[in-house]
Amino acid sequence: MSILVCGGAGYIGSHCVRALKEAGYDCIIYDNLSEGHREAVKDFPLIVGDLKDEEKLNRVFAEYKIEGVIHFAAFALVGISMKEPLSYYENNVSAAISLLKAMERAKVKNIVFSSTCAVYGEPDKVPITEDMPTKPCNPYGQTKRDIEKLLYWCDEAYGIKSVCLRYFNAAGAVPDGSIGEDHALETHLLPLVFHALQGKREAVSVFGTDYDTQDGSCIRDYIHVLDLADAHIRALQYLIKGSPSNIFNLGTGTGTSVLEVIDTVKRITGKDFRVKLCERRPGDPAKLVAEAGKAYEHLGWKPQYSDMETIVKDAYAWHKNHPDGFGV
Ligand code: UDP
């Protein structure tokens, strides 16, 4: 039996595939390589394909005995989604429909889905619990919420069980620096901080210094990608043993501001670089911090590596070893 990992060659997907291998699972990776990297997944078969290609997907489900699906594949940039909602709906929602149709046809009943804290929009309070209202303030978050709802109805209609994992801010890398974060278009804070440190960009921008936070910059809950990978394996085991569909936050309960992230990088690396204070970025809520007790209660999951020092140290190992990402 195998686990089908859609988007398994991407940043979080490839770390999860590594953890699955260590836990003894067999994987089939399905990825269109629009964001993923062949070099990130050398241990298992990689099928290069798009999820919207229903015939190809059907062939995969027919060829392999699939016990469960982990679905990472998506466009995931808040800023771009504000400018290109149509491509976000097409890529995220249509692809999920196609995948669920193939699962239904093949009678595969378990799926772990990468959701996001962006489903909450601007929350009324932090930390955020899973039962708080969802009111996404950007198309990216809305597509993820729409897929969560679709999963709910697929359980009602076809008995497909799902765990939606609402990640807060994924960061870090495996400590040996062999795989890490490498996006064609980089918009995430930590990689951009390292690009400034490495002189690949003139400065790192701080988007907004007038938020209602202690230093005026946005607060996020950064979670180490190794902790995310561990949560996926626990979620899969939870489904395989017959537990009901569920939704869990994956965060630490601790918020870190943009300026604090930058300070930590300077302190851990001992390197200085330019910081530019800028206007707010459209679509950004001021403060996103998880209450993660539910994932602990149901999955026994607790972050082990998600203190900011460890995240920065591990991300630095990747950026130092691979200044041009997977290009070297
Ligand atoms: N951010 C920033 N400068 C950058 C990129 C991001 O100040 O060059 C801020 C952004 O406004 C947000 C936080 O850093 O408050 C995390 O943004 P990122 O894009 O990494 O993740 P998101 O929260 O959008 O998923």
Question: Measured between alpha carbons, how far is 249 from 116 in angstroms, rounded to an integer?
Answer: 8
Distance from Cα 248 to the centre of ligand 1, integer Å: 22
For residues 27 and 44, is the Cβ–Cβ distance under 8 A?
A: yes
pLDDT tens for 56-112 read: 999 999 999 999 999 999 999 988 999 999 999 999 999 999 999 999 999 999 999
Distance from Cα 307 to the centre of ligand 1, integer Å: 18
HEC letters along 194-243: HHHHCCCCCCEEEECCCCCCCCCCCEECEEEHHHHHHHHHHHHHHHHCCC
Which pLDDT belongs to residue 79? 87
pLDDT tens for 245-265 read: 999 999 999 999 999 999 999
Which pLDDT belongs to residue 327? 83
Above pLDDT 90, what percent of the chain?
Answer: 97
Which pLDDT belongs to residue 283? 80
Q: Measuring CA to CA, which residue among 21, 34, 43, 305 is closest to residue 170? A: 305
Q: Ligand 1 pocket by C-beta < 6 Å: which residues?
A: 78, 169, 187-189, 192, 204-207, 218, 220, 258, 281, 284
Distance from Cα 168 to the centre of ligand 1, integer Å: 12
pLDDT tens for 119-152 read: 999 999 999 999 999 999 999 999 999 999 999 9
222 Cβ contact list (under 8 Å, min separation 6): 168, 169, 170, 171, 190, 252, 256, 261, 306, 308, 311
pLDDT tens for 4-48 read: 999 999 999 999 999 999 999 999 999 999 999 999 999 999 999
pLDDT band at 328 (very low <50, low <70, confident <90, very high): low
Distance from chain centroid for Cα 85? 19
Catalytic residues: 140
What are residue 269's phi and psi, to 5 degrees?
A: -90, -20
52: its two tokens: 């919207």
Report the atom number in ligand 1 closest to the C-alpha of 281. 11
Distance from Cα 226 to the centre of ligand 1, integer Å: 20
Report the atom number in ligand 1 closest to the C-alpha of 288. 23
Q: Measuring CA to CA, which residue among 206, 189, 220 is closest to residue 287? A: 220
pLDDT tens for 233-244 read: 999 999 999 999
pTM (predicted TM-score):
0.97
21 Cβ contact list (under 8 Å, min separation 6): 27, 43, 44
The DSSP output letter for 38 is G
pLDDT tens for 160-196 read: 999 999 999 999 999 999 999 999 899 999 999 999 9
Distance from Cα 280 to the centre of ligand 1, integer Å: 10
pLDDT tens for 206-240 read: 999 999 999 999 999 999 999 999 999 999 999 99
pLDDT band at 326 (very low <50, low <70, confident <90, very high): very high
Residues in the chain: 328
Among 119, 223, 284, say which to mutate for ligand 1: greatest number of ligand atoms within 8 Å of CB. 284
CA-nearest residue, atom 19 of ligand 1: 188
Q: Measuring CA to CA, which residue among 82, 134, 140, 77 is closest to residue 282? A: 82
Q: Please, where are the H alpha helices in 40-188?
A: 54-63, 78-83, 85-88, 95-106, 139-158
For residues 139 and 88, is the Cβ–Cβ distance under 8 A?
A: yes
Report the atom number in ligand 1 closest to the C-alpha of 117. 25
